[in-house]
Chains A and B, each alone.
Chain A
Amino acid sequence: MNAGSRSHSPVSTSQLPLAFEVTLEGAHVAIRSALSVIRENLAPLDLSREELCTVELIVAEVLNNIVDHAFDDHPHPGSIRIHGSYQPNGLKFCFTDLGKPMPHSALRASLDAIPCLDPSTLPEGGFGMGLIKLLTDRLDYSRTGSLNCLTMRIPVGRA
């Protein structure tokens, strides 16, 4: 477990901007404590319970995807770095890792494409990216050398 946090700027209950960075080991077992650290970092924003749930769900889905796909069968699964910052137009996140590249087709996932008429044909996965797309905007993926970078904005707070 290697979840830690360091603030780039002093965080106080009344002063914005807010920025933080969390680094975790690229493994499912590390995700819960990373989410807990992020919740602590977001405390000064006084987000509503529903907004906090949204942020937690999105971050969890992104981290799951990185662990399941970028680090799947990877000889040296490394760490994931999360940079979060709050601006008046919402919460911006940047996730970086050195795992395998994400196919651009992954970004085309949509919850609308999931058939839910016949329960026997329901998929047991594939909801993650659909949820991320539904609850964020300005979702962008880039690959620079061996670095994956996924950025997004979550319209919460005073957005």
Chain B
Amino acid sequence: MELLARTEGPLQLVSVVDDRIDAAVALVFKDHMRRLTSGGTGSVILDLQKVTFIDSSGLGAIIAVMKNLAPDRALLLAGLTGPVARVFRLTRMDSVFSIYPTLDVAVEDRRNA
């Protein structure tokens, strides 16, 4: 599971390179995210624009990452493709996360926050 991370000011941006977050990679994703974000202080924006499939294990992993960052740091989501947005909607997790159409919009919004 490949993740690309960079910082922009106080923000940490993580892009998922793989096109699936499913049961086969959920644990690896969670551990990888924990390592990448440890020691940071600002919000984390997870860029999901390349992800075209997520199952409930992948969703659970993203929730675990969010809970691991809380309460001091927020996890924001950006670039959800249709199938991914649908899983968030069906499970009502779209009401729990701040979701932005693109990474750029998310960065811009948080910069002005």
Contacts and interface: CB of A to CB of B under 8 A. Distances in A.
A50 B38 CA distance: 37
A31 B82 contact: no
B52 to A, nearest CB: 9
Interface size class of B (residues with CB under 8 A): 20 to 34
Chain A facing B: main interface SS:
helix
Nearest to A135: B90
Interface in A113-144: 114, 116, 119-120, 122-128, 130-131, 134-135
Interface stretch (A10-18, A57-65, A99-107): A57-65
A29 interface: yes
A127 B60 contact: yes
A123 B20 CA distance: 21
B24 A120 contact: no
A94 B49 CA distance: 33
A29 B24 contact: yes
Interface size class of A (residues with CB under 8 A): 20 to 34
B71 interface: yes
A79 B9 CA distance: 50
A3 B56 CA distance: 22
Contacts of A124: 60-61, 63-64, 67
A73 to B, nearest CB: 17
A28 B56 CA distance: 13
B92 interface: yes
Interface string B22-49: 1110000000000000000000000000
B63 A122 contact: yes
Interface of B: 20, 22-24, 53, 55-57, 59-61, 63-64, 66-67, 70-71, 82-83, 86-87, 90-93, 95-96
Nearest 4 interchain pairs by C-beta: A127-B56, A124-B60, A128-B56, A53-B83
Given A68-B23, A128-B55, 17 more contacts: A28-B23, A31-B22, A50-B83, A53-B53, A60-B53, A64-B56, A111-B91, A111-B92, A114-B92, A116-B93, A116-B95, A119-B70, A122-B96, A124-B60, A124-B63, A127-B59, A135-B90
